[in-house]
């Protein structure tokens, strides 16, 4: 069980706290010395150029990979050191939207959204159908329950995956490059849906992106990762970082310039 008495004030404020995190693939170091916290209810962007380790960091945050060193705290609980059953309990509070949607291809959209509900609740089938229809309607896919992922467009797949991600009313939503492969109009529509969901559900959102439009439209704060230095080089509100960039790499990135 979670021991809230041991949590400090900062931990109660933080949805996620990362401390001394080192990420590596075998002996290939990706990122080191990561220290940051994600506040409850904020939209937190992880930014950086291609290959800087954004998606790798996300994989570690959601427990798909174990870090080489350091800790990740969710509400005061150390996710890295937690037992398997505790990790699964913490993971149930996550919703993840993968880069390509990652909908289960052998299931209809309704079945995709229903599976987490069937796994973790004792709701009757009729109630699950009702929730599924509502979640699909929230992302603008009412009436698409019986469609398979292969039968709908890329943008619709992303939205259906978002409906699945919010199936269990998660505390934290993780988005891996939500705009990847989408045209600008669909991409902005998805940004708007994310913003509306955050405002309605109060969910903490962690967003991996290199899209500046999404960054300025959505993020309260952004963490910049640097592939050369293998660490984070800036943390702050996107507008502040653009107006007062802490280093040339961040300035160039936000000005869309090659160094």
The residues binding another protein (CB under 8 A) are: 28-29, 59, 62-64, 88-89, 91-92, 94, 96, 98-100, 102-105, 115-116, 119-120, 164
Nearer to another protein, 88 or 192 (CB): 88
> What does the alpha-carbon distance between residue 12 and residue 102 come to, in Å, rounded to a whole number?
32
Torsion of CA 205, 211, 213, 214, to 10 degrees: -10
> What does the alpha-carbon distance between residue 35 and residue 72 come to, in Å, rounded to a whole number?
10
Q: How far is the CB of 106 from another protein (least distance, A)?
A: 8
Q: How far is CA 98 from CA 111, 126, 182, 186, in A?
A: 18, 28, 13, 16
Q: How far is the CB of 2 from another protein (least distance, A)?
A: 16
Q: How far is the CB of 246 from another protein (least distance, A)?
A: 23
Residue from 181, 160, 175, 165 nearest 61 by CA: 175
CB 44 within 8 A of CB 221: yes
Q: How far is the CB of 167 from another protein (least distance, A)?
A: 9
Nearer to another protein, 3 or 26 (CB): 26
At residue 251, φ and ψ (nearest 5 deg) are -60, -45
Nearer to another protein, 58 or 241 (CB): 58
Q: How far is the CB of 228 from another protein (least distance, A)?
A: 9
Three-state DSSP class for residue 235: strand
Nearer to another protein, 160 or 222 (CB): 160
Nearer to another protein, 96 or 222 (CB): 96
Nearer to another protein, 104 or 134 (CB): 104
Q: How far is the CB of 47 from another protein (least distance, A)?
A: 21
Residue found under tokens 């990652």: 102
DSSP state letter for 207? E
Element (H, E) at 234: strand 231-236
Q: How far is CA 47 from CA 22, 253, 256, in A?
A: 17, 9, 13
Q: How far is the CB of 82 from another protein (least distance, A)?
A: 13
Nearer to another protein, 185 or 258 (CB): 258
């Amino acid at each position: 069980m979670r021991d809230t008495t041991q949590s400090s004030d900062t931990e109660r404020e933080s949805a996620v706290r990362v401390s001394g995190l080192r990420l590596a693939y075998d002996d290939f170091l990706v990122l080191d010395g990561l220290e940051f916290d994600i506040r409850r209810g904020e939209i937190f962007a992880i930014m950086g150029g291609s290959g800087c380790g954004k998606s790798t960091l996300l994989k570690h945050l959601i427990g798909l990979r174990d870090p080489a060193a350091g800790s990740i705290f969710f509400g005061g609980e150390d996710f890295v050191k937690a037992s398997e059953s505790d990790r699964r309990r913490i993971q149930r509070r996550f919703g993840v939207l993968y880069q390509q949607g990652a909908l289960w291809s052998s299931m209809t959209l309704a079945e995709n959204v229903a599976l987490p509900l069937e796994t973790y609740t004792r709701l009757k089938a009729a109630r699950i159908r009702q929730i599924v229809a509502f979640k699909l309607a929230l992302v603008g896919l009412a009436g698409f329950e019986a469609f398979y992922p292969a039968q709908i467009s890329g943008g619709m797949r992303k939205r259906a995956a978002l409906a699945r991600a919010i199936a269990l009313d998660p505390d934290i939503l993780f988005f891996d490059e939500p705009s990847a492969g989408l045209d600008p109009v669909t991409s902005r529509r998805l940004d708007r849906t994310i913003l509306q969901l955050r405002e309605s559900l109060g969910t903490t959102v962690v967003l991996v992106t290199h899209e500046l439009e999404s960054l300025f439209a959505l993020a309260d704060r952004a963490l910049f990762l640097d592939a050369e230095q293998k660490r984070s080089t800036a943390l702050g509100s996107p507008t502040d970082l653009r107006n007062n960039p802490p280093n040339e790499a961040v300035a160039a990135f936000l000005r869309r310039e090659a160094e």
